[in-house]
Homo-oligomer: A and B are copies of this chain.
């Protein structure tokens, strides 16, 4: 699979509004989420884990009880690529309107 190239700062800035809730932190896209409880937080993580495994692109993430923080970056490219925006959009799609 060909990995996409690192996006320029201008390209990142242009794409950022397409993934509401995400912010650029260093070389990563980051979003923090709060669920009703641990059960729902971890079920959400399973949803994301399956999407990540299918895309062969995995998050840097953490969880405490009902809170989940997710970061996407493309290590091979040394920064953000289209793949990170795709996965961020996939996460948003899971969260519903």
Contact = CB atoms under 8 A, between A and B. Distances in A.
A7 interface: no
Given A42-B49, A53-B38, A54-B53, A62 B65 contact: no
Interface residues on A, range: 20 to 34
A44 B52 CA distance: 16
A2 to B, nearest CB: 16
A88 to B, nearest CB: 16
A69 to B, nearest CB: 9
Contacts of A60: 62-64
A39 B39 CA distance: 14
Interface string A38-52: 111011111101111
